[in-house]
Amino acid sequence: NAGVTQTPKFRVLKTGQSMTLLCAQDMNHEYMYWYRQDPGMGLRLIHYSVGEGTTAKGEVPDGYNVSRLKKQNFLLGLESAAPSQTSVYFCASSPRLAGYTDTQYFGPGTRLTVL
């Protein structure tokens, strides 16, 4: 049971380049989330998904797209990277949505630098 895994762990992009971050979970969780972590700002929700084939915007969705074609995978895409997207990105999953009272399980993070 690997939990939540993220690929890649590190990436350096040039402004304007595109990339996709992959998140995978093997816990059969319905809900998955993408956050970004910036110094002094805690975690901010980018997008989330309540099930296969569904996605929704979070607090800071601009410049990002997501897809959930399979229940176990949640992809985060940057179409045209900007320096403001330099951050650490965390994926998380949780077993159910009701009241969002369930614990979130986090991946190890992807450190992205945009030059």
Partner 1 sequence: AQSVAQPEDQVNVAEGNPLTVKCTYSVSGNPYLFWYVQYPNRGLQFLLKYITGDNLVKGSYGFEAEFNKSQTSFHLKKPSALVSDSALYFCAVRVPGYSSASKIIFGSGTRLSIRP
- Residues of this chain that interact with partner 1 (CB under 8 A) are 4, 31, 33, 35, 40-45, 48, 50, 56-59, 90, 92, 97, 99-101, 103-109
Calculate Rg over the CA atoms of the chain: 13
Nearest CA to 63 out of 12, 15, 7 is that of: 15
The single-letter code of the amino acid at 104 is Q
Query: Nearest distance from residue 77's CB to partner 1, in Å?
Result: 19
User: 17 or 52, CB closer to partner 1?
Assistant: 52
**C-alpha distances out from residue 43 to 1, 34, 37, 40, 106, Å:** 25, 10, 5, 9, 12
User: 14 or 40, CB closer to partner 1?
Assistant: 40
User: 13 or 47, CB closer to partner 1?
Assistant: 47
What are residue 28's DSSP bridge partners? none
Query: Nearest distance from residue 15's CB to partner 1, in Å?
Result: 26
Query: Nearest distance from residue 33's CB to partner 1, in Å?
Result: 6
